Structure 1
Amino acid sequence: MIKRRIKDMQFEVCSPCQLDCKFCATGEMRVHDSHYQLSLEQLDRFLYHTEQSGYFIEKIWMHGPGEPLLWRHLNEGLRRLRASAAIGKIEIITNGTYLKRIEETAWDCIDIIDVNIYEDRTKIPLLERLQAFFGAEKIRPRAAETFKRVRDENFQPATIPGKCRCSGPMLYGDKVFLFCGPPVFGAALRATKDLLADRSLWVEVGPNYLEGYDEKIAGTLDLCRFCWANENMDEVLEPHTSIGGGWQPQNRVRAE
């Protein structure tokens, strides 16, 4: 029996990424734990308590905070998510380099794949073939030519409340951040705040873990004044480049 519907949930599965984008909305989260991988035990615990709590998540947004197709348990994880009665659509946001890691049975578990196209255009023919097979509604390339970065020069906190770019709570390992997505890690650094020490922001996965979740709170927290996801933030539009970020030695990452 469904007791509560959650429109969206950010789903963070791994930190590694083979790119080193100059600007990355999730970069600080990747640096926090550069070896992070959501385990199958953590996934099973999340699904169990989601089902037992009577929650139905209408859409999972699978991110990294690195490259989600480098998740060690990608294919089995997708199958377990699809088998759950508590999960609706599954959408993956990827740079598309490792699409060939997706097994045939896992393709059937995915509803939408958003593929960011950076300087490397060589993957476009593959995406066109995938679109011809699966349909344009499932395979969605999008040009990522620019990035809105926080104006860190003479930084001024943004006003609140502000519309938040992140949608829904966020799963990260055995924690659920109730009101924030990946950019909260960058916000905490700007605010010189110990993010994990603030138990008002996150809960451990367990019975009724979303009891304190209220979507109206997103964009109203004091930390939102320091967050890239706050649309009131003073920003600079820059050309996007997939090199020069210095987010860790992820250029040496290999798919397992």
Structure 2
Amino acid sequence: MEQSRRERRQGQAVVRGSLVPNSTHDQRLLERQGPSDWVHMDPWRVLRIQAEFVEGFGQLAELPPAVTVFGSARTTTDSSDYVTGVRLGRALAEAGYAVITGGGPGVMESANKGAREVPGAVSVGLGIELPFEQRMNDYVDLGIEFRYFFVRKTMFVKYSCGFIALPGGFGTLDELFEALTLVQTRKVTSFPVVLMGTEFWGGLLDWIKGTLLSTGKIAPQDLDLINVTDDVDEAVRIIADADRARSKQRQEEQEAAAAQRAEPQ
């Protein structure tokens, strides 16, 4: 009977059975209807949101260079996408990257599992409170549970040097297009976005080229923001090349600044 009890992570807490609320913190934050007590509650929510940022920054600040892998939580362990996720997680870890996922099952689990197969690698899961039960997978070394999606999304971007998306649903698409928007608007720079699975992503890319581009909703150069491949080694190479280019640019900027300071006034 204990096995069948409902369970939910709420930040650092675990609640079970009748203590599991009927709504999440995100739902209550975004709810517009109801009594006027939100006037008094929202300022306190700001402190809780602040605490989540502080916790995330504190836990992740000393990570080695990391790559975030997205994909469906519904992927089964016997699927080709799961196998690809394991290979990808292992290859990223062998290249010296920590692997960050959403911490759940499916593709997320597979990438964490692949990373764990490499001695000394770091496997990270950034979970989220959901209306339905979802536990942190067993291959996570460092797991953080968030109440708010936007805090979690900040952590994905701040501590990653690139995104790799395997086949997934709405959540994967949400993260994908947010990453593309951040790169397009130069909120983040030298940040590669890789789609793995040419067959799965082909229809979306056709729509982007045939509808968005043809009607002027995006610029031709925006297509260069998306890399598509079926090859794990190529996906890792794209990430590593961008990482080296970013490091070289940062070094050149530092040398130029040092030279400017050394010039006589």
Specify which structure has the higher proportion of helix: 2
- Scaled by the length of structure 2, the TM-score of the pair is 0.31
Indicate the structure (1 or 2) with the bigger Cα radius of gyration. Answer: 2
| Structure with more relative contact order (C-alpha pairs < 8 Å, separation 6 or more) | 1
Tell me the TM-score normalised to structure 1 length.
0.32
